[in-house]
Amino acid sequence: MSRRVALRAPAKLNLALAVLGKRPDGYHDLRSVLVTLDLHDDVLVAAHRRLEARTSVDVGPDDLTARAVRALAASCGREPHAFVRVRKRIPLAAGLGGGSSDAAAVLRGCAALWRCAADLVAVAAGIGSDVPFFARGATAALVSGRGERVSPLPAPPAPLDVVVVRPTLRLATADVFAEHAADEVGAERHVDAVAEAFARGVVTAELLRVHAANDLLAAAERRCAAIASWRAAAAARGIALALTGSGPTLFAIADDRADALRMARILTRAGLRARAHRACVA
């Protein structure tokens, strides 16, 4: 039996995100189409005499990887003993789901080491809102509820080419949701249109650009005024930037790889940290 497991933990993009309302537990009901991104963290999980989690950057006291070890151990009825090492590439508090993806990778790694047959998606739901999507292992999915309901969608025949603008700023998810107003809604029809396009196998760059709506955009811009400035700078150059998650990361849908590289060069010359990526990759 292997004593260590190496995994990739991909970032995600919310192609469209709707906030449906606040729940009695204080969280919000969401509806969103998520896709994986070729940007990833490297996660190593190994057998150990105790729980030890190390990350290449300071993630603060709320380490989701340690929480994942404890949650799966409780589900399996064993001690939470594992060594976890995370090499970060996905920026923190950026709307890309890096911490959640790391936690899901730890769940998979521990399940393999411990030969535990627990329902990883169910365990993931108790760790964080984006963790179930990553635990499900789909490259595209319609996610609803608090994030615990994950319906995989068929991936397009070819990966989607995108440009990701990654600011150096951090934006806490809780702060953005606290700023969100009840009347800042309307993206649900866009989410449904994107989900239907994936389900029918008719996803196009133009369709995704039309429906790249996010009900958290106004709240994120109020919390981080630079987001509006970055979007305005891009729009002046003919590029529409959408928000992923609660931000501040922005993205643009490209027609193909060459178009993504072209847009990334334009945005970089405008002073933005832009890079071409591919979405819907395993």
- Do 103 and 40 touch, CB atoms closer than 8 A? no
Q: What is the pLDDT averaged over residues 12-33?
A: 91
β-bridge partners, 41: 9
Task: Determine whether 238 is exposed, middle or buried from the number of CB atoms within 10 Å of its CB (0-12, 13-18, 19+).
Answer: exposed
Kindly state whether residues 146 and 202 are assigned to the same domain: no
**Distance from C-alpha of 32 to C-alpha of 220, rounded to nearest angstrom:** 17
Q: What percent of the chain has pLDDT over 90?
A: 88
Which domain does 103 fall in, by range? 4-152
**Distance from C-alpha of 116 to C-alpha of 85, rounded to nearest angstrom:** 20
Kindly state whether residues 86 and 194 are assigned to the same domain: no
**Distance from C-alpha of 78 to C-alpha of 276, rounded to nearest angstrom:** 43
- Structure tokens of 225? 């005024």
- Structure tokens of 145? 């509820």
Q: What is the mean pLDDT of the chain?
A: 95
**Distance from C-alpha of 99 to C-alpha of 255, rounded to nearest angstrom:** 30
- Do 227 and 248 touch, CB atoms closer than 8 A? yes
Task: Determine whether 16 is exposed, middle or buried from the number of CB atoms within 10 Å of its CB (0-12, 13-18, 19+).
Answer: buried
What CATH number does the domain containing 138 carry? 3.30.230.10
Kindly state whether residues 107 and 80 are assigned to the same domain: yes
Instruction: Output Rg (C-alpha) for the chain, integer angstroms.
Output: 18
Kindly state whether residues 146 and 274 are assigned to the same domain: no
Kindly state whether residues 147 and 197 are assigned to the same domain: no
This prediction's pTM: 0.94
Q: Which of 152, 175, 192 is the last residue of a domain?
A: 152
Q: What is the pLDDT averaged over residues 37-41?
A: 97
Q: What is the pLDDT averaged over residues 133-152?
A: 96
Kindly state whether residues 211 and 264 are assigned to the same domain: yes
**Distance from C-alpha of 22 to C-alpha of 138, rounded to nearest angstrom:** 27
Q: Is 70 left (phi over 0), alpha (psi -120 to 50) or beta?
A: alpha
Q: Which of 152, 172, 188 is the last residue of a domain?
A: 152
Instruction: Please give the positions annotated as active site.
Output: 12, 130
* pLDDT confidence of residue 1: 47
- Do 215 and 184 touch, CB atoms closer than 8 A? yes
Tens of pLDDT, residues 192-207: 999 999 999 999 999 9
* pLDDT confidence of residue 2: 63
Phi, psi of 4 (to 5 degrees): -155, 150
Task: Quote the Cα angle for 49-55-56, to 5°.
Answer: 135
Distances (CA, A) of 206 to 23, 37, 203, 264: 34, 19, 9, 18
Kindly state whether residues 174 and 129 are assigned to the same domain: no
Kindly state whether residues 264 and 178 are assigned to the same domain: yes
**Distance from C-alpha of 117 to C-alpha of 195, rounded to nearest angstrom:** 30
Tens of pLDDT, residues 56-115: 988 876 789 999 999 999 999 999 999 999 999 999 989 999 999 999 999 999 999 999
Per DSSP bridges, beta strands 51-55 and 82-87 are parallel
What CATH number does the domain containing 176 carry? 3.30.70.890
Number of separate domains in the chain: 2
Buried b (16+ CB within 10 A) or exposed e, 68-98: bbebbbebbeeebbbbbbbebebbebbbbbb
Kindly state whether residues 147 and 20 are assigned to the same domain: yes
Q: Which of 124, 152, 180 is the last residue of a domain?
A: 152
Q: Is 206 left (phi over 0), alpha (psi -120 to 50) or beta?
A: alpha
Kindly state whether residues 10 and 141 are assigned to the same domain: yes
Kindly state whether residues 224 and 267 are assigned to the same domain: yes
Kindly state whether residues 138 and 202 are assigned to the same domain: no
